[in-house]
Structure 1
């Protein structure tokens, strides 16, 4: 069975197509489940749309949810459409986000850390001028936030847990035990991590997370799910079979997905 839990559409400001385009693409590619999980608004901001090219407006959020629910009904019998959201994680606004999400019937929420020390993790040049200790501190702060997100109870899935390497491939070579500690925390919290194949579209190439992290995740018993993180309909389910083959070689024989926040298992 094929599924894809991480996809976007025009509302976020940096993806192409509408939600139905992604659903039709999923059907064409033989998926059984398609999860729509666009970027959450910046709920803490007084502005309706704080960053137009990054995430949808607060006023659009109910429309987003309603559209997914309508399409879920429309395509019943053809494909299972799941309501998700990719949520930023800000510890200081944790309860605000929790209160918003509790108002809607999400099948799952993906927690993604996109901001570290006030800067977007994909910001080119954010590493310029940092010495070795400062780079270690940045990486450790990133994973400290991921650990907090895992323990928050807000999320079923943690998104692209080494995406900070996206436009800075050297990130992987910054040595610190923080990743090992983070995987232990994730396993204890019982949340899943995704294999996200969109890393191939960035400077780092490959997937999020790295093969090495996936091997350590298996060691600690961390659940694995799949998301293409598609921003164009053509990338739906991208490399799903290869991901399964890779996971099987590591030792995994199952992946998980979520319906009404209930963990479901796909064996392979």
Structure 2
């Protein structure tokens, strides 16, 4: 059985625990056949090398990150396939700089994630205070519009946690008012041949469960969008978390397969 987890972090980003090797070993213990290392991208457009040490690695540390993953890929090649990934922020105004920054390296895949809208973190609880219902819907529409742009940028193989804004604001899970924007994301995923990540880290937030919601996944089936799996582990013992549960649920919803990536080539795995 092919069992994979494409979304893991480590201590280099400043808010995860453990080394890359700790996550590789955890993947072996979890019975994975492939583990993707996908720490947070540096802030390439900032004048400082590491403007936010508690959020992302230094720009100058990227080469060390890549070299470490490649070393571990070779070291563990007979026990687990180690894939070189990156969780990349998506800033529309800087997409060409980000694209160019990744070009020198042999990434197996890059996850495109929207972590900020209008300069505020999607996980900021305070952003919803004092907003009317219509203003909240507008925030939701803007968020999904950015995600659609990321899908169509051609820079990513995977879209990360596309409804993660519900993490500390569970009411965001209600898709009413933003159906058209969500459908545009799913259509873009299908049209471009990339995939949606099923991310189980929602279980560590107020919303519980995983990203995206079943309601969005049911729409994804309709559009023919592919899906993949990521635990978004920030501690080694979450590697592969809820993999079997997600597999069962995807079958129930109507998916026939999911995917992972090797050298940016989609590998289809029957469900």
TM-score normalised per structure 1: 0.98
CA contact (8 A) 1:135 1:174 kept: no
The partner residue of 1:236 within 230, 235, 239 is 239
Structure 2 CA distance, aligned partners of 1:213 and 1:31? Answer: 27
CA-to-aligned-CA distance 1:58-91 (integer Å, 9 cap, x gap): 1111100100000001011111000000000000
What is aligned with 2:187?
184
CA-to-aligned-CA distance 1:71-125 (integer Å, 9 cap, x gap): 0010111110000000000000010000011110000000000010110100121
> Structure 1 residue 174: deviation in Å?
5.4
Describe the SS at the equivalent of 1:125. helix
Structure 2 CA distance, aligned partners of 1:70 and 1:247? Answer: 34
1:143/1:69 Cα in 2 relative to 1: closer, same or farther (>3 Å)?
same
What is aligned with 1:73?
74
TM-score normalised per structure 2: 0.97
Structure 2 CA distance, aligned partners of 1:208 and 1:9? Answer: 21
What is aligned with 1:98?
99
Structure 2 CA distance, aligned partners of 1:33 and 1:17? Answer: 19
Q: How many residues align?
A: 268
CA contact (8 A) 1:4 1:237 kept: yes
CA-to-aligned-CA distance 1:131-184 (integer Å, 9 cap, x gap): 122111111110010000000000000000000000001112252222122211
Structure 1 CA distance, aligned partners of 2:169 and 2:196? Answer: 21
Q: Which runs of 4+ in 1 moved over 6 A?
A: none
The partner residue of 1:202 within 182, 201, 205 is 205
What is aligned with 1:137?
138
Structure 2 CA distance, aligned partners of 1:161 and 1:124? Answer: 17
**Could you list the runs of 5+ residues in structure 2 that have no partner in the other structure?**
none
